[in-house]
Amino acid sequence: MKFFVDTANIDEIRDLADTGLLDGVTTNPSLIAKTGRNFLNVVAEICEVVKGPVSAEVAATDFETMLAEGRKLAGIADNIAVKVPLTRDGLKTCKVLSEGGTMVNVTLCFSANQAILAAKAGATFISPFVGRLDDLATDGMGLIDDICQIYANYPNFTTEVLVASVRSPMHIVDAARIGAHVATVPPAVLWSLFNHPLTDKGLAAFLSDWEKTGQSIL
Ligand code: E4P
């Protein structure tokens, strides 16, 4: 399973990249707004830190402008994945960009029908939002399961399932059980994956006993 981090904060991205476990980054207009910085500069900086796919979202809603914005974003770096919303114009943009060799992340997916359309449009990634579905008492992870099963029925679908709107470590475990290709995760949730109180307790005991031996490895 690939881990993308869901943030546009360059310091958080650097820290996570340093673990060697980060495969990509997703941003959206809300995350960019939080930084207070220039969109194109932030994205260019992220692409220098992380060599895997970096999603940058178009702001227009009509095909011609989305395409122009997508091409401009794709020109920033080879690892840009242009993010388009799951609308008619978004999927039309997806098809043209994908056929031209640009990675495309189709976002704001909330149903299996939408995911089928995105795969037919040649999306590199489909982003179903599990947390936002859960918030409406709808089974977000059930949607991930449906999409993974449907895509597996059609070997010519190459679209990867990118689990988005992740809110907890259990979303990641459940998505991995299903076999989703990627999870994009807020930094705090990614860091929380490392933690277990028994690891801390066990390590403290080992270190204390080691000290009693008076030995040194180096
Ligand atoms: C990622 O691509 C999405 O924009 C993001 O995961 C949305 O998460 P949220 O529902 O927590 O805003």
Q: Please report the atom of ligand 1 found closest to the CA of residue 28.
A: 4
Cβ–ligand 1 distance for 29 under 6 Å, the answer: no
Residue whose CA lies nearest to ligand 1 atom number 4: 28
pLDDT value of position 22: 98
pLDDT value of position 62: 98
Residue whose CA lies nearest to ligand 1 atom number 9: 165
**Residue 173 belongs to a domain with what CATH number?**
3.20.20.70
Structural domain containing residue 203:
2-213
Residue 12 contacts by C-beta under 8 Å, 6 or more apart in sequence? Answer: 5, 187
pLDDT, mean of residues 165-189 = 98
Which residue among 28, 138, 168 is best mutated to probe the pocket of ligand 1, counting the most ligand atoms within 8 A of its Cβ? 28
pLDDT value of position 54: 98
Cβ–ligand 1 distance for 169 under 6 Å, the answer: no
d(CA 70, CA 74): 6
Structural domains of the chain, count: 1
Residue whose CA lies nearest to ligand 1 atom number 6: 165
- Report how far ligand 1's centroid is from the alpha carbon of 105 (Å): 13
pTM of the model: 0.96
Please report whether residue 142 resides in a domain: yes
Q: How far is CA 126 from CA 35, 112, 151, 213, in A?
A: 25, 10, 11, 54
pLDDT, mean of residues 8-35 = 97
Please report whether residue 111 resides in a domain: yes
Q: Which helix (H) or strand (E) holds 16?
A: helix 10-17
d(CA 94, CA 63): 10
Give the model's confidence band at 181: pLDDT under 50 very low, under 70 low, under 90 confident, else very high: very high
Question: Bridge partners of 14?
Answer: none
pLDDT value of position 154: 97
Q: What is the pLDDT of residues 69-126, one digit of tens each?
A: 999 999 999 999 999 999 999 999 999 999 999 999 999 999 999 999 999 999 999 9
* Residue 156, amino acid: N
Angle, helix 112-120 to helix 140-152, in steps of 10 degrees: 40
Please report whether residue 207 resides in a domain: yes
Please report whether residue 218 resides in a domain: no
pLDDT over 70, % of the chain: 100
pLDDT value of position 214: 98
